[in-house]
């Protein structure tokens, strides 16, 4: 009994070691926050129209026949340029509907961005003041949400969608939702 | 008479409007300090210069002006960003271990300290109670060592 009592510090140390190692090798970055809106209905967001492009109203977002992506982007955002090729692939090659939310941008710059890099978005809405995306819990762009056909948020991706994310995360989730 | 009443009403309403504004700005300041910036995660939105912190400040002011209470504003932001946005976690069942752990560890520490001192004093007492045979044996051993 007395011997067991002496092992308590060692047992505590082992617990701490396991806890810290788990944190150290966990794949998800601790600065990346899980969305609290997962599996919840898409909240109401009121956006403005981007002249010359199909408008994204709230009704467009909640009535769909297949799952889709919502991508929050801006022309001044560097990582948005990095992920743009993959968004184009998702849209043109994999036929995934992507609804774009243009965030705190100059209208002309947003239009130029799409003209120069291509338009992966089937519809676009503008959040000029950046207040509407707060309803989605957005805290940095680019952010991408996967929404199922009933309008429920199923996944949130923070940061640019790289090829690995597209092939191993986004597309499998979309495939699962379609089945 | 009517004029006096009118002046009184105007004065009263403007004073109450000013005091409400003052109260709102105090509440806003408190909220700015209690909420975490999700971009610069170890800073409050009051300290942070991130664009998101500025947007959150504007939303807080807007909601307070609409007449929402501090709790309502907080719960709106918790619904969007989760409890991580609060520097001080809520006292809920989910966080019970977090809140109770200092007391649990304190009690455990007191228990361990008590056991340690109790057993060491018991050992001292026991060592004093030698039987006559043990005393003789001890004496002979000691004598042997001296020789």
Please indicate, yes or no, if residue A25 is contained in any of the structural domains. no
Q: How far apart are CA B126 and CA B121, in angstroms?
A: 9
- Pick the residue with more confidence: B3 or A70? A70
CB distance B80–A36 less than 8 Å? yes
Q: Which residue of B has its CA nearest to A42?
A: B80
Question: Looking at residues A116-136, what average pLDDT do you find?
Answer: 92
Please indicate, yes or no, if residue A84 is contained in any of the structural domains. yes
Q: What is the pLDDT of residue B2?
A: 67
Q: What is the pLDDT of residue A9?
A: 84
Question: Looking at residues A10-18, what average pLDDT do you find?
Answer: 93
> How long, in residues, is chain A?
179
Which letter does DSSP use for residue B95 in this model? G
- How far does B131 lie from chain A, in Å, by closest CA? 25
CB distance A104–B39 less than 8 Å? no
- How far does B95 lie from chain A, in Å, by closest CA? 16
Does the model's pTM come out above 0.95? no
Residue A172 forms contact with B (CB below 8 Å): no
Q: Domain total for chain A? A: 1
Please indicate, yes or no, if residue A82 is contained in any of the structural domains. yes
The CATH number covering residue A130 comes to: 3.40.30.10
Please indicate, yes or no, if residue A16 is contained in any of the structural domains. no
Element containing residue A86 per DSSP (H, E)? helix A78-92
Nearest-by-Cβ selection for A33 from B56, B84, B115: B84
- How far does B111 lie from chain A, in Å, by closest CA? 12
Q: Which residue of A has its CA nearest to B37?
A: A139
Best mutation site among B42, B61, B81 for testing chain A: the one with the most A CBs within 10 Å?
Answer: B81
Q: How confident is the model over A34-55, as pLDDT tens digits?
A: 788 999 999 988 899 898 888 8
Best mutation site among B40, B54, B55, B120 for testing chain A: the one with the most A CBs within 10 Å?
Answer: B55
Please indicate, yes or no, if residue A5 is contained in any of the structural domains. no
Q: What is the pLDDT of residue B19?
A: 62
Nearest-by-Cβ selection for A36 from B41, B82, B115: B82
Mean pLDDT estimate for chain A:
89
SS (H, E, C) A102-159: EECCCHHHHHHHHHHHCCCCCEEEEECCCCHHHHHCCCCCCEEEEECCCCEEEEEEEC
Residue B56 forms contact with A (CB below 8 Å): yes
> How long, in residues, is chain B?
147
Say whether pLDDT at A174 is over 70. Answer: yes
CA A82 to chain centroid: 15
Please indicate, yes or no, if residue A17 is contained in any of the structural domains. no
Q: What is the pLDDT of residue B18?
A: 61
ipTM tops the 0.90 cut: no
Number of Cβ pairs closer than 8 Å across A and B?
Answer: 40
Residue A64: which domain range? 32-178
Could you tell me whether strands A123-127 and A48-49 are parallel, antiparallel, or unpaired per DSSP bridges? Answer: antiparallel
CB distance B59–A134 less than 8 Å? yes
Please indicate, yes or no, if residue A171 is contained in any of the structural domains. yes
The encoded tokens of residue B61 equal 């002011």
pLDDT per residue rounded down to tens, chain B (147 residues)? 667 666 766 666 666 666 666 678 899 999 999 999 998 888 999 999 998 999 999 999 999 999 999 999 999 999 999 999 999 988 889 889 989 999 999 999 999 899 888 877 777 766 667 788 888 898 888 887 665
Q: How far apart are CA A33 and CA A152, in angstroms?
A: 19
Say whether pLDDT at A29 is over 80. Answer: no
Residue B27 forms contact with A (CB below 8 Å): no
Q: What is the pLDDT of residue B115?
A: 86
CB distance B81–A139 less than 8 Å? yes
Residues near B141 by beta carbon (within 8 Å), at least 6 away in sequence: none
Please indicate, yes or no, if residue A106 is contained in any of the structural domains. yes
Q: What is the pLDDT of residue B13?
A: 64
CB distance B52–A136 less than 8 Å? no
Give the 3-state secondary structure of residue B2: helix
Residues of B in contact with A136 (CB under 8 A): 80
- How many Å from the N-terminal Cα to the C-terminal Cα in chain A? 58
> Within 13 Å, how many C-alpha atoms sit on residue A132's CB side?
18
Residue A84: which of A101, A68, A71, A96 has the closest Cα?
A71
CA A108 to chain centroid: 25
Nearest-by-Cβ selection for A139 from B52, B112, B115: B52
Residues of B in contact with A7 (CB under 8 A): none
Residues of A in contact with B41 (CB under 8 A): 31
Give the 3-state secondary structure of residue B7: helix
- Pick the residue with more confidence: A27 or A80? A80
The encoded tokens of residue A168 equal 């191993």
Phi, psi of A35 (to 5 degrees): -75, 135
């Amino acid at each position: 009994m007395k011997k067991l009592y002496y092992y308590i510090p060692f047992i505590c140390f082992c617990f701490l070691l396991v806890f810290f190692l788990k944190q150290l090798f966990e794949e998800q970055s601790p600065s990346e926050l899980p969305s609290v809106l997962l599996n919840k209905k898409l909240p109401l967001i009121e956006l403005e129209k981007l002249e010359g492009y199909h408008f994204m109203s709230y009704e467009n977002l909640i009535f769909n026949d297949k799952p889709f992506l919502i991508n929050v982007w801006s022309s001044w955002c560097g990582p948005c340029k990095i992920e743009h090729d993959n968004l184009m692939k998702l849209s043109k090659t994999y036929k995934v509907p992507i609804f774009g939310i243009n965030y705190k941008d100059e209208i002309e710059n947003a239009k130029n961005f799409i003209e120069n890099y291509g338009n992966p978005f089937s519809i676009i809405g503008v959040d000029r003041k950046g207040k509407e995306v707060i309803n989605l819990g957005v805290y940095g762009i680019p952010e991408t949400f996967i929404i199922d056909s009933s309008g429920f948020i199923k996944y949130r991706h923070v940061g640019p969608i790289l090829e690995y994310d597209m092939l191993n995360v986004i597309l499998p989730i979309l495939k699962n939702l379609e089945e | 008479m009517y004029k006096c009443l009118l002046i009184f009403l105007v004065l009263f309403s403007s004073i109450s409007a000013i005091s409400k504004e003052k109260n709102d700005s105090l509440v806003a300041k408190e909220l700015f300090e209690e909420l975490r910036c999700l971009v610069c995660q170890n800073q409050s939105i009051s300290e942070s210069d991130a664009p998101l912190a500025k947007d959150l400040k504007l939303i807080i002011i807007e909601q307070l002006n609409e007449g929402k209470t501090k709790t309502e504003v907080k719960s709106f932001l918790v619904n969007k960003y989760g409890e991580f946005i609060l520097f001080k976690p809520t006292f809920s069942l989910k966080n019970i271990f977090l809140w109770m752990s200092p007391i649990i560890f304190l009690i455990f520490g007191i228990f361990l300290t008590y056991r340690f001192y109790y057993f060491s004093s018991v050992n001292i007492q026991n060592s004093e109670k030698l039987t006559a045979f043990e005393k003789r044996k001890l004496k002979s051993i000691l004598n042997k060592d001296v020789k």
